Amino acid sequence: MDDGEFKCKSTMLYNSEKSGTHVTWTMSGDMEIPLIGGYFALMMDAMAGKMFDKGLEKLKVTVESYQNRN
């Protein structure tokens, strides 16, 4: 935590499949506060899950829109 900000690394992996492309989006970082950081890490899915879902849906719409133009 740095002035209320959590610094992390985000990665998107793309794997080609017969039905399309499988996207895996991950986020990682260090929790510097030992006990509180552990609880915070357990709550990350509830806190960031909707943001990931929204981002993946936007990616899907963008890719499908691009594919329909070609």
Higher per-residue pLDDT: 44 or 65 = 65
The two tokens of residue 64 are 């499908």
Higher pLDDT, 59 or 6: 59
Beta-bridge mates of residue 33: none
Q: Which pLDDT value is given to residue 1? A: 44
Q: Does the structure show a pLDDT above 60 at 47?
A: yes
Question: Can you give the residue ranges of every domain in the chain?
Answer: 9-69
- What's the chain's average pLDDT? 79
Q: How confident is the model at residue 6 (pLDDT cuts 50, 70, 90)?
A: low
pTM here is 0.54
The DSSP symbol for 33 reads S
